[in-house]
Structures are given as C-alpha cells and as structure tokens.
Structure 1
Amino acid sequence: MTRPTLNAIHHVAIICSDYARSKRFYTELLGLEILAENYRAARDSWKLDLALPNGNQIELFSFPGPPPRPSRPEAQGLRHLAFVVDNVAEFADYLTANGVAVEPIRVDEYTGKAFTFFQDPDGLPLELYQA
C-alpha cells in the first residue's frame, strides 16, 4: 500500500484559562484574524477559530477549570509554537512595548536565522522565527 501524504498543518488547538484575556492576546496583540467564534453551552466552552495570513489556524478553547500544563524546560509534549515573522527584532520590540516579556534574540546555529521566545497569558511557549 502506498503511503498517503500529509499536506500541511491545518490548526493548532490551545486551551486557555481566561478566554477574554487570551482572545485579546491572540487577536489584538498578535493580530490573528477571527474566522468564527462559538459558545458551546453543553460544555460551557468557547471555541475561537483564528487565522494566520498563510491560512494556518489556531483554535482557542475555554473549558471550566482546565488543569495547568506542565511547562518546565524540555517537558514531554508540545515544546512550543513558532510563528514566522519578517523581522524578529521588530516584533520582539513590539511585544516588549506591549508588556510581554521576550527572551534575548538568538541565532539558530544551523540555519543562521534569528529567533526568540515569549509566552502567551497561560505560559504557553511561543517562538518568533525569522523568515
């Protein structure tokens, strides 16, 4: 049997602890476009579909009392979510000016590209990676 092909990543799903705070962070601060927003009464849960300019999506969920995610360095599971940007320093300066702590910019030893890390309101590690 021939192996089928994975074409792309469609979306990344994130569960937040404070829906309004995370919605503002991802839409107003990071500038992601809202595709759809739905309240699911049976689950007491919001689902917000967000789009990046290339068509990739982030699904932002709220649930009552979600357990915190272990986030120590090199913990098992999703390590971080990386966004491609035209200028890492410019975006890092923008985040810093808006009260977001950003790590010092580093250069990938293999690609020579600049990158840095910051966190969303729940401590999810996010990366900016130079185009």
Structure 2
Amino acid sequence: MKINKIHHIAIICSNYEASKKFYVDILKFSVIHETYRSERDSYKLDLKISDRDTIELFSFPSPSPRPSKPEACGLRHLAFEVDNIEENVDYLISQGINVEPIRVDPITGKKFTFFQDPDKLPLEIYEV
C-alpha cells in the first residue's frame, strides 16, 4: 500500500451556522461547495485551507458528543501551520476566541498554542 497524502479532514458540528461562521469568517477558509442533503437533514460544506488541504464540515441532527481534550483517546487535535504565532493569537483574541498561553515544543523549539472551535474541538496553531 502507498498513501500519497491526506485527502481531507471531516468535522461534524452541532450548530452548522456557528461552525460555518467560525471556519469561514474567523479562520478565513474559502468555501469550495455547500450542499444541503434533505434526506439526512444535513449540510456538507467543503472548505479550502490551502492549495492542497480541505475540510469537509458536516451537520447532522443531534450528533453524538465526543471527548474534546487534546489528551483524549482518539484523534488528538487538528493543527494549522502559521508564520507568526503572536499575530494569529492576537487576531483570534480580537474575534472573541479563547486561546491558551503560547508554549514551546521541547523537541522542535517551535511555538504553538491551542484554541477551540464552536464544538470545543481542539485546534492548534504551530509556528514554522
């Protein structure tokens, strides 16, 4: 088996409008395509992060809750690369987003921090 790359990241949200606003208006991801699936009472929003990375944002009526702490078993968190962590932290705070204090990765020496989406999904920004 040979895997080329990650194709997309899928996220299920509990409040479609709040999550759409967060990912499009605050994180500035571009909308590729938005679909309403009436048979599922569900939206699917394809978002462009970069030239090669995409997120599929799904809404479903009454999705099951999941552990959301970065140390919970399962998918740990989603990390986004940034050039300047302080500028991005200041921006997130200006948008009313709570951001943890900036830390330094003891292995790489790079700065990073965590914040949460509207469903408390842990998101990380990591300075390169």
TM-score, normalised by the number of residues in structure 2:
0.96
Shift of 1:70: 1.7
* CA RMSD between the two structures: 1.0
Shift of 1:87: 0.7
User: Which structure has the larger Rg over C-alpha atoms?
Assistant: 1
DSSP 3-state at the match of 1:69: coil
- The size of the alignment, in residue pairs, is 128
Segments of 4+ in structure 1 off by > 2 A? none
Amino acid at match of 1:98: Q
Task: Give 5+ residue unaligned stretches, structure 1.
Answer: none
DSSP 3-state at the match of 2:56: strand
Distance in 1 (alpha carbons) for counterparts of 2:51 and 2:84: 17
DSSP 3-state at the match of 1:67: coil
Counterpart residue number, 1:38: 35
TM-score, normalised by the number of residues in structure 1:
0.94
DSSP 3-state at the match of 2:87: helix
Counterpart residue number, 1:67: 64
Amino acid at match of 2:21: R
Identity %: 61
Kept in 1: contact 2:69–2:122 (CA 8 A): no
Task: Give 5+ residue unaligned stretches, structure 2.
Answer: none
Distance in 1 (alpha carbons) for counterparts of 2:42 and 2:51: 27
